[in-house]
Structure 1
Amino acid sequence: MTDSGKPINPDDYRPHYPFQSHFLALGDLRYHYVDEGSGNPVVMVHGNPTWSFYFRRLIGALSPQYRTIAPDHMGCGLSDKPDDQAYDFRLERRVADFGALMDHLGLDRITLVVHDWGGMIAMAWAVANAHRIARLVITNTAAFFPPGQKSIPWRLWIIRNLSGFATPAVLHGNLFARGAVYMAPHKRLSPSAKRGLLAPYHCPRNRLATLRFVQDIPLVPGDPGYEIVSRTQRRLEGLAHLPMLILWGRHDFVFDVDYYNEWRRRFPRAEAHLWNDAGHYLFEDVPDRIIRQVNNFINKYNV
C-alpha cells in the first residue's frame, strides 16, 4: 500500500509474474511467497532491493518439474510494509522469518538458490539446517565478511552511515531501488523489467526495507548481526559435502570477483562459472544461461 492507501498496480509486474500469491502470517504481518509446481523443492532467496520477481524466469522454467518457492523478505515485494514499530529490520529477524517459512512448508531435500543479501539470510539458516539441504546455487552473494578485509563500496558506506543524507534520498528519492535498475545489470533492462523490479517500492513507506537492509550491514564487533555473520562463516565448511554451483556476473561493484574467488577458495569442488557479460543482476543479464546451468546442475545430482 502507498501512504495514501492506493495499492501496488499489478500491471507494473504482470504478465511477467503470473504466479499465485501465498502468505504466511508472522504475528500481525503477512510474509509473501511464490509456491509453484510440485516435486523436489527449489527455494530462491532474493536480496536488496529485488523481490521474487527477480526469479520469475527461473520459476517459470523449473516449476513444470520442481516445486519452486520464492519468498519476499518483509518490507519487500508483495509482503507487508511495516514501520520500525511493527518490525525489527535486523538480520536475526530476517533469518527467523525465512526459517519459519521453511518449517511451515515442511521442506527438506532443498535446492537453495541465493542472491545478494538473500545469501547471508538463507546461508545463516542453512548452516544450522544442513540436513535439509540437497544442493546449493550461489549467485553474486556472500555468507562471510568482506574477503581480505576489503571495505564496502563507498555508495553503500554513505547509505549505511550518513542517515541525514540516506533517509530522504532512499525513502523519498528511491535512490537505492531506482539506482539499482541502472547500476546492477551489465546490460540495459527492458522497460517491463524496470517496472517489475521497482513496482513494490513506489512510495516512501514502501522503501523503508531497502534503507534498513543497508544500514544493517554488520562490519565490526558490536554491530547487530555481527555474531550471526561470524558464526555462519565459521560453519560454512559444514556444507562442503553438498553439491554446489557458483554462478557469477563479473561486473558487480559490490560482490566483485574477490567474493567469487572466496567462494571458490572455501568450496574448491564446486562447479563455477564467471561471465564477462553479466553484472550483479545476472538473472536479468544472462537468464537463459542461468536456467540451463541450474537445470543441468539439479538433474546431475537428482538422486
Structure 2
Amino acid sequence: MSVSYKVSREPGNTPLKHWPEDYVPGGKQNARWLTLQKGPDAGKKLFYYDVTLGTEEPDKTLLFVHGNPESSYTYAKTIAELQNRTDVNVRVVAMDHIGFGLSDQASFEMVDFHHAHNLQQLIEHLDLNNICLLIHDWGGAIGIGSLIDQAERVKALLIMNTTVFPIARDGKWVYDNFPFPGVLSWNKLAAWFPNKLWPYLCSMIVCRPIYSSPGFALESFRFSIRAMFGKLNQQETLYRDMFNSDINSRSSRRNARQTHRWGYGYQYHDPLVGEQDNSKFYQNIQGKISKLWGGKIPALGFFGQWDVLAKPSVLQQWCAHLPQLEDRISLYPKRGHFIEEWEYVDIANGVVSLLNDMRSGHFGNGD
C-alpha cells in the first residue's frame, strides 16, 4: 500500500533561520518540506526542492545527496553552473537530511542508514526514475543505500570523495590519524569536541580550501579570529547556524565518530532508539552494487587528494566494483575532501557528460 505524504511550503523547527536566495534554484518559492511518515523520524519535516533546468519537460533527474557536516547548499555552485548551460534540460532534486540545513532538528544521534531510510520516502513520494545520482561524503552510503534495492531507478552515477566499502588500513592516512594523530584525528575529535564549538569547526572545514595538515592548523587559527569578531561570510554563517542546536551537533558528531569504521559497520547505543547497527546496511550495498551497476551504467569520479577517501586503495575498490570508472576519475592534488565547493565547473561538465551518456547508451570502460 502506498503512503500518502503531506508537503508544506513552511519550514519546521530548523535552527537555520536565515538562508540565501540561491539555496534553492529559482528562489525560495521552490522550497518544499515533506512530512515523513515512516521510521523514528515520522512526523518530521524533510526539506527538498524539485525544479527543472531548461525549457522542455525533462526525462532525466539529477538527485544530489549531501554528507556530514553539509547541507544541499554544498551543491549550489554546481547547479548554478548547470543553470547557465543552454544544453541542459533536466529535473533537479536535492534535500537536507534531518538535523541538517532547512530540515527539522534531529531527535536522536543519527548515522547514514537512518538518513537513507528517510531519503527512500522522498524518492517514493516523487517517484524518481532515470536518475543520475550525485553523491559526496556520507551521501555515498546514504544515496546508494536508499536506492540499491530499487537499482533500476538509477541510470548514472557521479561520486565525489566518498565510499561504500571498508576503508583499507593502508597508506599514510587512516581516520585514526587524519588530519592529525592522536586525539586530533577526525573520529576522535568528534568524540570529545564540545557541542557549542562543533558548529564553528564544521563551518571552517566545509568552507575553507584546506589540503594539508599545516594548512588545517593555519585556517583554524584564521577562522577562529574572524569568528571571534563576527566576520564570517554568508556561507560560513549558514553552516554554523544549522548546528545551533545541541541535538543537531550531537547527531552530526555521532555520524563523524564512525569514520574509523566507514564501510565496516558501526554499533552504538542511543538513549531514545536503543542499540543501533548499520552493518547489514553496508553488507547489502557491498553485496549488490557490482552485480547491479558494474559495467551497466555510466559513472564518473571527482576526488580531492588530501583525504583518506582519495587514497589508491579506496579508488581501486570503486574500480573493482564499477569497472566503468577506470580512467574516468579526476584527481585534484591541491584539493581536500570538499571537492564540490571548489571544482564545481569540472563537476558540472561531468554532469553534462553523464547526461549525454544516458542519452546515447554508450560510456567509458565496461560498457
Instruction: Please show how residues 19-168 of structure 1 align to structure 2 within 5 Å.
Output: 19=28, 20-26=30-36, 27-37=42-52, 39=58, 40-62=60-82, 65-84=89-108, 89-147=110-168, 151-154=174-177, 155-159=185-189, 162=191, 165-166=192-193
Task: Name the amino acid aligned to 1:94.
Answer: H
- Give the whole-Å Cα distance in 2 for the aligned partners of 1:222 and 1:290: 31
Q: Which moved more, 1:203-212 or 1:237-246?
A: 203-212
Within a 5 Å distance, the mapping from 1:1-303 to structure 2 comes to: 8-10=16-18, 12-15=19-22, 17=24, 18-19=27-28, 20-26=30-36, 27-37=42-52, 39=58, 40-62=60-82, 65-84=89-108, 89-147=110-168, 151-154=174-177, 155-159=185-189, 162=191, 165-166=192-193, 169-174=194-199, 176-181=201-206, 185-186=210-211, 191-216=233-258, 218=261, 223=267, 224-237=277-290, 238-240=292-294, 241-270=296-325, 271-303=328-360
1:152 alignment partner AA: Y
1:179 is displaced (CA, Å) by 4.3
Query: Structure 1 pair 81/104, CA: closer, same or farther in 2 (3 Å)?
Result: same
41-50 or 199-208: bigger deviation = 199-208
* SS of 1:248 mapped into structure 2: strand
Structure 2 residue identity aligned to 1:225? N
Aligned-residue RMSD, C-alpha: 2.9
- Looking at structure 1, the residues matched to 102 and 133 of structure 2 have their Cα atoms a distance apart, in angstroms, of 21
SS at match of 2:157: strand
**Counterpart code for 1:194:** E
8 Å Cα contact 1:172/1:203 also seen in 2: no
In the aligned structure 1, how far is the partner of 2:187 from the partner of 2:15? 32
Give the match's secondary structure for 2:335.
strand
For 1:254 and 1:283, the matched residues in 2 are separated by 14
The aligned amino acid for 1:299 is N
TM-score scaled by structure 2?
0.70
Equivalent residue of 2:106, what SS?
coil
Q: Report % sequence identity.
A: 20
Q: What residue identity is the alignment partner of 1:247?
A: F
What is the CA-CA distance between 1:281 and the residue it aligns to? 1.1
CA pair 182-135 structure 1, distance change in 2 beyond 3 A: closer
Any unmatched runs of 5+ in structure 2? Answer: 1-12, 37-41, 178-184, 224-231, 268-276, 361-367
User: Separation in 1 of the partners of 2:209 and 2:316?
Assistant: 20
In 2: Cα distance, 1:228 partner to 1:173 partner? 27
Which of 22-31 and 260-269 deviates more?
Answer: 260-269
**May I ask how many residue pairs the two structures share in their alignment?**
290
CA distance in 1, matches of 2:149, 2:195: 34
Inter-partner Cα distance in structure 2 for 1:302 and 1:43: 17
- TM-score of the superposed pair, with normalisation by structure 1: 0.83
Structure 1 residue 77, shift from structure 2 partner? 0.8
Taking the aligned partners of 1:58 and 1:182, their CA distance within structure 2 comes to 15
SS state at 1:301 partner: helix
2:287 and 2:201 map into 1 onto residues whose CA distance is 31
Give, in whole Å, the separation in 2 of the partners of 1:289 and 1:139.
Answer: 12
Distance 1:138 1:95 in 2: 17
Contact 1:184 1:280 in 2 (8 A): no
User: 1:211 Cα shift?
Assistant: 1.3
Query: C-alpha deviations, 1:11-70, integer Å up to 9, x for none?
Result: x53456534211110122001112121521100000000000001122234356211111
Q: CA deviation at 1:127?
A: 2.1
Rg comparison, structure with higher value: 2
- SS of the aligned residue for 1:35 comes to strand
The 1:140/1:36 distance shift into structure 2, 3 A limit, reads same
